[in-house]
Chains A and B, each alone.
Chain A
């Protein structure tokens, strides 16, 4: 079929089952946007390219589908950089299609020209510069395949402007032909055998679940294995939701601001099954003293992650869809009474956890962030998708919001991108219109992409935005309080911004909570309202996130005491 490059892009998106594109037009993508117009292709116009890429990220994390972004050349494309890096760090599948200046203008420092493939090389799974229209169908096919298979990640396709105008004989390839890449990643039976052997010898095994379980949609298999073994479980920040918050033996998130119970279980276990996680420095504490008594087993699809940060005793390579299924099947063949044998250890771990659960001290009429999030969690249904920005509120959300299902806690983990939350929540709601979506953000983070309130209002995207408003960059201030002699250098936000008015100026209703009793009197009604809503919640500025493992310390060297 004859068509121009722009139409070929949209045809390919249709073939890939893309339901919506997030983007922002501009000179180099005018022809592409003309095709969007003619095809009436579903498209969300964000107010900033960064909003578009985070929205696509939220969409992808909530569903596992590939998020798609359009942006123009030069500044349009470079505005995607933070979002692409955010997706890369957390293995989120995206295809970003950027316009490049026309072929004759490439390399001439032309208007709105930037070397987008050069700039995005370190932050993409793969990228392309398309200078010939005939390459478009193959490149698109490969890009979607690469983005969603294996360890997922963002792919950038930079397309010279004239390519969109060039007529081609369009045929979408049935299959990809990539010599250096395999989308299928089966593991090895012998590695599963070794894990089963290790489990039969262990007295105190612990399952440590990560984002890979969410990404591979293997939660049911993981939960079945946990059920069969009767062992305690802990999760990384991105692993939240893989084990239901109320499951017996789930000790919560581990790491720098993880629970006492989770961190002590890691330090005390004799076999640690790490499943789809990558030993980030935020989760290990002092690496050389991480899980000192344990044989460490690493279930991991990406060979480059094995022994990168922590040296492990056993590896289980391959896709979790393969390895968890095989482990489950193997365990089924064994006569062992794992549940009975691990019961004392499970009780021990639960007992330890009960000594220091997450908590906060009430203080008069003020609303404590922990109390707020606990209350929101109580009021939300089990299918609520919680999204966060980055900072103290993010950790409090991880600690106090109860998540029961996979892909229901969306947060920028590896990158720690402030400004991620609002657009990501918007993307998640568009992806899952039937699920309630609540965003926890801070008065710092929300300003970094607050222009997206306009997008949310214009498209009537029903999300509840809870601003944990402490008038300070809380996490920065916490470190300044602890390690910089209370020098609040540039972290105080005692400004004149009225977040309720800010939201209302863009067409989103707003409300404010200032007193503890309003958590009971006002909050339930606000959360039950239809349509997007900002809830500005005033909290004290000097609250610390605890527990805390200070940088370079062992996981069991947590600071447990309260703030000031």
Chain B
């Protein structure tokens, strides 16, 4: 069978027990089932014993998406999985970019930063560190603009998301 292009991207909010070993279980599953993960991030939530893992997964079709969701659902530590892409939701990612900024380039970089509503968070004689929060496409565009200058390094968090409205993922 020919593999189709993997085009569909989904952001899954995975609520898990905040226990040791849970990240191993999730990461281990992703690797052994050969799922395509674009980003993964985890953090505490409003409940002290629950961690929210945000996974951006690329799949080729609905069947593969169902496989990802049901295989994750089989993990004992996984309490709930919500596909944020299928909901009215707000997704954000944070990026820090360190870019070479000699005197000549500084003004231009500041310009780009303003246009994208990013922030300069550190500045040195040779470099600037900028911060941007936004949707992935905006961050990609920002990095593309800055790549005309010499980017020293990039750190991205991966996307996280919340649905609109009063309902929490755990109640869905």
Q: How many positions in chain A have a CB within 8 Å of any CB in the partner chain?
A: 23
* A128 within 8 A of partner (CB): yes
In the complex, A166 has a CB within 8 A of chain B: no
Distance (whole angstroms) from the CB of A135 to the closest CB of chain B: 10
Q: Which of B67-75, B92-100, B113-121, B151-159 contacts A (4 or more CB under 8 A)?
A: B67-75
Asked if B21 and A129 make an inter-chain contact with CB atoms under 8 angstroms apart, the answer reads yes
- Among B21, B28, B74, contact of A304 (Cβ-Cβ < 8 Å): B74
Q: Most A CB atoms within 10 A — which of B24, B31, B63?
A: B24
Q: Which of B29, B31, B66, B74 has the most chain A CB atoms inside 10 A of its CB? A: B74
Let me know if A180 and B17 touch, CB within 8 A.
Answer: yes
Please report which residues of chain A, range 259-317, place their CB below 8 angstroms from some CB of chain B when the two chains form the complex: 288, 302-304, 306-308, 311
Q: Do residues B76 and A126 form an inter-chain contact, with CB atoms below 8 A? A: yes
When distances are taken between beta carbons in the complex, the residues of chain B under 8 Å from A181 are 76
| In the assembled complex, A125 has its CB within 8 A of some CB on chain B | yes
Evaluate whether A304 and B73 lie within 8 angstroms (CB atoms) in the complex, with A122-B32, A311-B63 already known: yes
Contact of B67 among A128, A131, A308 (CB under 8 A): A308
Which of B1, B24, B73, B79 makes the CB contact (< 8 A) with A179? Answer: B79
- Interfacial residues of chain B within 11-35, with CB under 8 A of chain A in the complex: 16-17, 20-21, 24-25, 28-29, 31-32
Could you tell me the distance in whole angstroms from the C-beta of A393 to the nearest C-beta in chain B? 31
B21 contacts A127, CB within 8 Å? yes
Q: Shortest beta-carbon distance, B34 to chain A, in Å?
A: 12
**Contacts A288-B1, A303-B70, A307-B63 known; A121 to B24 CB distance under 8 Å?**
yes
A180 contacts B77, C-beta separation under 8 Å: yes
The residue on B at minimum CB distance from A125 is B76
User: Chain A residues with Cβ under 8 A from B101's Cβ?
Assistant: none
In the complex the two chains form, what is the Cα distance from A118 to B32 in whole Å? 13
Q: Is the pair B25, A180 in contact by a Cβ cutoff of 8 Å?
A: no
Interface residues of A in 123-139 (CB under 8 A from B): 125-129, 131
Q: Which residues of A contact B32 (CB under 8 A)?
A: 122
Q: With A121-B24, A128-B21 in contact, do A304 and B67 touch (Cβ < 8 Å)?
A: yes
Min distance, Cβ B132 to any Cβ of chain A, angstroms: 35
Of B17, B24, B63, B66, which contacts A118 at CB under 8 A? B24
CB-CB < 8 A to B20: which residues of A? 129, 131
Does B56 sit at the interface, judged by CB under 8 A?
Answer: no
- Asked, given contacts A129-B20, A180-B17, A288-B1, whether A304 binds B79 with beta carbons under 8 Å apart, the answer is no
Chain B positions within 8 Å of A302 at CB level: 74
* Complex contacts, A180 vs chain B, CB 8 Å: 16-17, 75-80
B113-137: contact bitstring with A at CB < 8 Å (1 yes, 0 no)? 0000000000000000000000000
Counting CB contacts under 8 A, is A199 at the interface?
no
How does the 8 Å CB contact mask read for A338-375 relative to B, with 1 for contact and 0 for none?
Answer: 00000000000000000000000000000000000000
Which residue on chain A has the smallest CB distance to residue B77?
A: A180
Nearest B residue (CB) for A307: B63
Interface residues of B in 45-102 (CB under 8 A from A): 63, 66-67, 70-71, 73-80
Please name the residue on chain B nearest to A126 by beta carbon. B76
- Asked whether A304 and B70 contact (CB < 8 A) given A121-B25, A121-B28, A180-B76, the answer is yes
B27, closest chain A residue (CB): A121
Contact A307 B66 (CB under 8 A): yes
What residues of B have a CB within 8 angstroms of the CB of A304 in the complex? 67, 70-71, 73-74
A59 to B78 CA separation, bound complex (whole angstroms): 30
A179 neighbours in B (Cβ, 8 Å): 17, 79
> Distance in Å from the Cβ of A384 to the closest Cβ of chain B?
36
**Inter-chain contacts of B29 with A (CB < 8 A):** 122
* Chain B residues within an 8 Å CB radius of A127: 21
* Shortest 3 CB-CB contacts between residues of A and residues of B: A304-B70, A121-B28, A180-B79
Instruction: List, sorted by A's number, 25 A–B pairs whose CB atoms are closer than 8 Å.
Output: A118-B28, A121-B21, A121-B24, A122-B32, A125-B76, A127-B21, A128-B21, A129-B20, A131-B20, A146-B76, A179-B17, A180-B16, A180-B17, A180-B75, A180-B80, A181-B76, A302-B74, A303-B70, A303-B73, A304-B67, A304-B70, A304-B71, A304-B73, A304-B74, A307-B66
* B contacts, CB < 8 Å to A: 1, 16-17, 20-21, 24-25, 28-29, 31-32, 63, 66-67, 70-71, 73-80
A residues near B (Cβ < 8 Å) are: 117-118, 121-122, 125-129, 131, 146, 178-181, 288, 302-304, 306-308, 311
Q: Given A181-B76, A288-B1, list of 18 further CB < 8 A pairs? A: A117-B24, A118-B24, A118-B28, A121-B21, A122-B29, A122-B32, A125-B76, A126-B75, A126-B76, A129-B21, A179-B79, A180-B16, A180-B77, A180-B78, A303-B73, A304-B70, A304-B73, A308-B67
